[in-house]
Amino acid sequence: MAQSIFGSAAQPVSIPVIPVRELLPYTVFGGLMLLLAIYFVGAEQGATSMFRGTMVHEFLHDGRHLLGFPCH
């Protein structure tokens, strides 16, 4: 009875192969986004600031301390 419910012997599972050329654009984009996030969390203040004022600094202030970046 168990064989009739679950069918016959289990078929082997084939793992799809993804070529590196197809992953490369997504990897580069993800790396650039990661670098941008690290810049805004770790360096967006003072002499290296891209934006006037302290809006970005205050928005990311707690995240800086959480990740161990000193900011004051």
Question: Which range marks the domain in which residue 44 is found?
Answer: 17-67
Say what the pLDDT of residue 48 is: 61
- Best CA proximity match to 67, nearest among 46, 39, 45: 39
Q: Is there a domain that residue 23 lies in?
A: yes
Say what the pLDDT of residue 71 is: 66
CA distance 64 to 26: 27
Q: Is there a domain that residue 25 lies in?
A: yes
Say what the pLDDT of residue 72 is: 67
CA distance 31 to 27: 6
Q: Which residue has the tokens 């900011």?
A: 71
Would you write out the chain's pLDDT as a tens digit for each of its 72 residues? 555 566 666 788 888 888 889 999 999 999 999 998 877 777 666 666 666 766 766 777 777 777 777 766
Q: Is there a domain that residue 62 lies in?
A: yes
